[in-house]
Structure 1
């Protein structure tokens, strides 16, 4: 890791936060679940061995913190304590709500330094964390209480940050890490191709979910008071979509984008346009912004594709990249992409 990336980074990885990894583990074929768990086990061992003091997490919010009343391009949560999952997501994430440690000193340093660099982050205190952080925790550091510094990117409500700016964000974070004493792990969470019902590619007045989701975009978690069933109705919609026969995973594009990340092909990635990738990978594909921020924080080092599994039952591919060659497992997606 030090040879590839230098500095105080002891682990780095990117993965999808596919909702199916919550309460739908019984739906895909057992053989596919086994391959997923083999990949997760490899990176979990890496994290345990690395003993990070803190995880800097490049993630996106899902209207649990930021809404149309205030939607920053980039934001950071500075608090010493975060919370999650939200009460509305406990059942499907299958975790109980509780405090999650933050690292306020490092977070404030990142915030101040990036402001000096001309990257104006919106600041929050305590973050509400859901599957963006807690699905990765569930599989990669379930028994460790590692402090989190979450850095959020708007991936849903246009105009979105450019991929070039996301890369610059990661590079600026790296400059802070390089002068800090902490053992840092880096994480990007989100993507790859997927069509989540939290956003829509259509405007069908006959779809009863659309107006409810619009209210969620506008008011965030306040909506649960009036519409407490919405969270589980969104999960049910995903199940219906996955069983519909629609083509909801672009395997070719997933493999292409993972290969670019694994090669450290920054020139290609920073030229990506949201309209193009939305057409290829759905409205959830812009979550790859966080992976490009991770690339920037890793000084464009090459990574290793630990696994890629297109899971039809979850209408999304599960991808995992590590910046440590030994995290790759024989027979994993690394051989297939």
Structure 2
């Protein structure tokens, strides 16, 4: 039952803004190195833990966690198109196992996977269909949020099930680290924006373009030291990555919404996806983890971090 893990920040602004040639080259080179490792490993199953940014999940029915039994790219930021290669029977088995482990997880036969899923699949696996992949949504945007403690429980339940497999498994955690994109929040926006948050899936091309332009402008303002977004927090990011490296799940489970928002911004809540991924890995036994890259990139509104891990002795 070989298993590997890669956790990485995502940012669709990679293809819209440059933080400078040297920084951008380092990020892309690290992704290329990790992608080569994935090709050499040739996983038989990929499980992707990721958030959503009000592209596929909305307040008309907002789960804390959802496993995609069937899934397709949401099409945001033009990253990935069409269905993901979800092995339906295995996804259903995973749903049943997690429910039997007393973690209430939703499941979907029509999941829309946004860039939180499609970008890491593109960058690490070559495409969204290269390997069989099960997407696991972890709510990191729509308050009230699942606790980090429950994110650990989700990951552990998934890991316990996967540990009984004889397949080569790749776990991907997507999201974080510190970043504060202009994500609207229910209760503090006008009625028309609330309506979008409730049921805004499948927007017109013009509406999607306008939304994406606001995010690009936010990154440009942040790089100039302007705008309302919180600055990136390298100290917080590095503390988190150290907790993942040593497997301090007590500290990770104890993270509160308020502390994450204060130190990591609105997008920092996505760290739940990393927490679930590492918790799943921990069910395979003690692991060795390392930081492969880190740099706070204002233009991309992201503390860009990448980590890899695998069981000790594998």
- TM-score by length of structure 2 reads 0.89
Aligned to 1:184: 169
After TM superposition, give the deviation of residue 260 of structure 1 in Å.
Answer: 1.1
Deviation larger for 124-133 or 139-148: 139-148
Over aligned residues, Cα RMSD in angstroms?
Answer: 2.4
Aligned to 1:135: 119
1:11-26 aligned at under 5 Å gives the runs: 11-24=4-17
After TM superposition, give the deviation of residue 292 of structure 1 in Å.
Answer: 0.8
Aligned to 2:67: 76
1:65 aligns with 2:70: no
Q: Is the 8 A contact 1:242 1:312 kept in 2?
A: yes
After TM superposition, give the deviation of residue 201 of structure 1 in Å.
Answer: 11
1:225/1:308 Cα in 2 relative to 1: closer, same or farther (>3 Å)? closer
After TM superposition, give the deviation of residue 104 of structure 1 in Å.
Answer: 0.9
Equivalent in 44, 47, 51 of residue 42 of structure 2: 51
Distance in 2 between residues matched to 1:287 and 1:71, nearest whole Å: 15
1:203-222 aligned at under 5 Å gives the runs: 203=188, 213-222=193-202
After TM superposition, give the deviation of residue 323 of structure 1 in Å.
Answer: 0.4
After TM superposition, give the deviation of residue 290 of structure 1 in Å.
Answer: 0.9
After TM superposition, give the deviation of residue 286 of structure 1 in Å.
Answer: 0.9
Distance in 1 between residues matched to 2:145 and 2:176, nearest whole Å: 15
Q: Is the 8 A contact 1:8 1:181 kept in 2?
A: yes
Equivalent in 72, 89, 108 of residue 92 of structure 2: 108
Residue segments in structure 1 that go unaligned for 5+ positions in a row = 1-6, 326-337
Distance in 1 between residues matched to 2:149 and 2:156, nearest whole Å: 11
After TM superposition, give the deviation of residue 89 of structure 1 in Å.
Answer: 2.8
Equivalent in 260, 266, 271 of residue 283 of structure 1: 266
1:272 aligns with 2:272: no
Q: Is the 8 A contact 2:69 2:109 kept in 1?
A: yes
Q: Is the 8 A contact 1:248 1:316 kept in 2?
A: no
1:243/1:8 Cα in 2 relative to 1: closer, same or farther (>3 Å)? closer
Distance in 1 between residues matched to 2:208 and 2:260, nearest whole Å: 33
After TM superposition, give the deviation of residue 148 of structure 1 in Å.
Answer: 1.4
Q: Any idea what the Cα deviations from partners look like across 1:98-135, whole Å, max 9, x if unmatched?
A: 23211112111110011111111111013222211221
Distance in 2 between residues matched to 1:214 and 1:230, nearest whole Å: 17
After TM superposition, give the deviation of residue 192 of structure 1 in Å.
Answer: 0.6
Equivalent in 93, 101, 110 of residue 117 of structure 1: 101
Q: Is the 8 A contact 1:200 1:283 kept in 2?
A: no
Aligned to 1:89: 77
Total equivalences in the alignment = 304
- TM-score by length of structure 1 reads 0.83
Residue segments in structure 2 that go unaligned for 5+ positions in a row = none
Distance in 1 between residues matched to 2:208 and 2:293, nearest whole Å: 36
Distance in 2 between residues matched to 1:243 and 1:40, nearest whole Å: 23
Distance in 2 between residues matched to 1:284 and 1:168, nearest whole Å: 21
Q: Which runs of 4+ in 1 moved over 4 A?
A: 200-203, 210-213
1:256 aligns with 2:239: yes
Distance in 1 between residues matched to 2:16 and 2:26, nearest whole Å: 18
After TM superposition, give the deviation of residue 317 of structure 1 in Å.
Answer: 1.3
Distance in 2 between residues matched to 1:202 and 1:314, nearest whole Å: 27
Distance in 1 between residues matched to 2:306 and 2:186, nearest whole Å: 26
1:226/1:36 Cα in 2 relative to 1: closer, same or farther (>3 Å)? closer
1:228/1:260 Cα in 2 relative to 1: closer, same or farther (>3 Å)? closer
Q: Any idea what the Cα deviations from partners look like across 1:255-308, whole Å, max 9, x if unmatched?
A: 111111112111211111111110111011110111111121111634110000
1:40 aligns with 2:31: yes
1:266/1:41 Cα in 2 relative to 1: closer, same or farther (>3 Å)? same
Equivalent in 216, 240, 257 of residue 236 of structure 1: 216
After TM superposition, give the deviation of residue 190 of structure 1 in Å.
Answer: 0.3
Distance in 2 between residues matched to 1:212 and 1:301, nearest whole Å: 48
